[in-house]
Amino acid sequence: MLKFLLICTLAVASRAEVGEEEDVLVLKKSNIEEALKAHPDILVEFYAPWCGHCKALGPEFAKAAGMLKAEGSAVRLGKVDATEETELAQEYGVRGYPTIKFFKGGEKESPKEYSAGRQADDIVAWLKKRTGPAVANLVGVTEAESLIADSEVAVIGFFKDADSDGAMAYEKAAETTDDIPFAFTSDDAVFAKFEVTKDSVVLFKKFDEGRNTFDGELTKENLLAFVKTNQLPLVIEFTEQTAPKIFGGEIKSHILMFLPKTASDFQDKMDQFKKAAEGFKGQILFIFIDSDVDDNQRILEFFGLKKEECPAIRLITLEDEMTKYKPENDAITAEAIIGFCKLFIDGKLKAHLMSQDIPEDWDKTPVKILVGKNFEEIAFHPSKNVFIEFYAPWCGHCKQLTPIWETLGEKYKDSDDIIVAKMDSTANEIDSVKVHSFPTLKFFPAGDERKVIDYNGERTLEGFTKFLESGGKEGGAPAGDDDDDLDAEDGDDVDEGQDTDSDGEDDGHDEL
């Protein structure tokens, strides 16, 4: 009997306990299976204690966990310290922080990537769409009012016949939208309460005009376009929480207003910016960036701006290549901004390429200093072989490379046909060369063909020397062939709001 009791005691003790912090399950390799047995649906954040993006997400993640718990939902939120649980992080391919994955139905294999925003409402809405029906059925005014009150954005389909073509198209649109709750009603009282007299779709929101009514042919495509056009505020502030919505949305043309919130005329300029935004819904996303916030300084630097130069307006396209535009008129008025946007839409704007002034001593040191204004003349000189490091002042890998690059410059300072150079790509831009990560090393061989060869070899004096002596063959690849190098694993991913390099590996690049 004693032996039996001992075995039972050990069996109970061997069950890994699942602790909680602020309604969030604390998960480890030793207890994740136990957690999934008790809670089949868990949204899990893999984080690092030092990660700024994780710290910003933490309160919203805990708030979402509390909201679900208060509702009596079976869905739970969990977190894994990936710096401690390295095996678990590796098992699920965690390569940056935070990484958020959804485990559904108790299945430990192949969890789904979380794809919505990082505010509590976004998290809750996404989970409800993943675990419940795509369209909730509303019975009575109270249910409709509760949905609207509890959601930053909610969509309600008003249809007398749930089997009508319009209602079916509405359901299909709902099935492909993760981050917004969709509901359906045929209740006459709900129709009357919201003054809807015929089959219609209404988007309710807690900002701007408060509601938008769909007007057009009820098709899945038209409804999705309607929702995407109206689900964001006319002007959205850039923060850690809104970054996924901004960069993950369908609108890839963004106009940015850099302005300190402490400015005496802040509200006036915001009103002008918002007024201009009204005519470009669905075409251009209007974004406000507080230029006094420390976390936003890298963005200012990316646009060649300093805090003292704000307020300022810039426009950027986030297509295959990011292209920036600068207005000729610095005035922040609705009229000036509207005119600038119309020129952009009509294709009448030229890209704005940043350049520093040419330093007086640019060619006095072994490593020549290039800027936008002298790049073409030097890099594409027909009788020179030019090896250039494109760097960022803040890049750790660039700093590590500096002594080697300076030694290389010293080695070839008296060469008749080889030039070793460098260019600060945070302050200078070249139309013919796109730099996505730092340091980027490119070779411009002599001749009239304007060839560009990417350097993919070892970052050693020996490797660089072999490359130059071989005419760019030893360790080189034609420009555009090294796309894998652009997936930097240890820099900051500005677009996604993620700190990278979860596993200690290092590809030697810092992202732009």
3-state helix/strand/coil string of 210-260: CEEECCCCCCHHHHHHHHHHHCCCCEEECCCCCHHHHHHCCCCEEEEEECC
| Confidence at 384, pLDDT banded by 50, 70, 90 | very high
Q: How many CB atoms are located within 10 Å of the residue 492 CB?
A: 19
Q: What local confidence, expressed as pLDDT, does residue 126 receive?
A: 87
**3-state DSSP call for residue 127?**
helix
Q: What local confidence, expressed as pLDDT, does residue 158 receive?
A: 97
pTM: predicted TM-score of the whole model, two decimal places: 0.63
444 or 251: which leads in pLDDT: 444
Express each pLDDT in 19-68 by its tens digit. 899 999 999 999 999 999 999 999 999 999 998 889 999 999 999 999 99
Strands 24-26 and 76-81: parallel
- Give 283-319 as a DSSP string: T-EEEEE-TT-GGGHHHHHHTT--GGG-SEEEEEEES
| Confidence at 125, pLDDT banded by 50, 70, 90 | confident
Distance between CA atoms of residues 492 and 498, nearest Å: 7
Residue 319 has pLDDT above 80, yes or no: no
Task: Return contacts of 18-26, CB within 8 angstroms, 24+ apart.
Answer: 21/62, 21/79, 22/62, 22/65, 22/66, 23/62, 23/65, 23/66, 23/69, 23/77, 24/61, 24/62, 24/65, 24/77, 24/78, 24/79, 25/76, 25/77, 25/78, 25/79, 26/78, 26/79
Q: Taking Cα atoms as reference points, which of 150, 217, 218, 154 lies closest to residue 184?
A: 154
Residue 509 has pLDDT above 70, yes or no: no
Write down the mean pLDDT value for the chain: 86
Residue 241 has pLDDT above 80, yes or no: no
Residue 240 has pLDDT above 90, yes or no: no
Q: What local confidence, expressed as pLDDT, does residue 251 receive?
A: 86
Q: What local confidence, expressed as pLDDT, does residue 16 receive?
A: 55
| Confidence at 493, pLDDT banded by 50, 70, 90 | very low
Q: What local confidence, expressed as pLDDT, does residue 498 receive?
A: 56
Strands 498-500 and 96-97: antiparallel
Q: Taking Cα atoms as reference points, which of 291, 339, 296, 297 lies closest to residue 312?
A: 291
Q: What local confidence, expressed as pLDDT, does residue 505 receive?
A: 42
Q: What local confidence, expressed as pLDDT, does residue 302 receive?
A: 83
Q: Taking Cα atoms as reference points, which of 279, 320, 275, 248 lies closest to residue 498?
A: 248
Angle between helices 52-70 and 120-131 (to 10 degrees): 60
Residue 441 has pLDDT above 90, yes or no: yes
Residue 267 has pLDDT above 90, yes or no: yes
- Give the active site residues: 51, 54, 395, 398
| Confidence at 322, pLDDT banded by 50, 70, 90 | confident
Residue 432 has pLDDT above 50, yes or no: yes
Express each pLDDT in 161-184 by its tens digit. 999 999 999 999 998 887 789 999
Report the chain's terminal Cα–Cα distance, integer Å. Answer: 67
What does the chain come to in residues? 512
Q: What local confidence, expressed as pLDDT, does residue 461 receive?
A: 94
| Confidence at 78, pLDDT banded by 50, 70, 90 | very high
Which segments of 415-475 does DSSP mark as H helices, in order?
Answer: 461-469
| Confidence at 212, pLDDT banded by 50, 70, 90 | very high
State residue 68 phi and psi, 5-degree precision: -65, -40
| Confidence at 499, pLDDT banded by 50, 70, 90 | low
Express each pLDDT in 347-369 by its tens digit. 998 888 888 899 999 999 999 99
Q: Is the separation of the CB atoms in 173 and 224 below 8 Å? A: yes
Average pLDDT over residues 130-153: 91
Please, what is the Cα angle at 498 between 495 and 501, to 5 degrees? Answer: 125
Q: What local confidence, expressed as pLDDT, does residue 22 receive?
A: 93
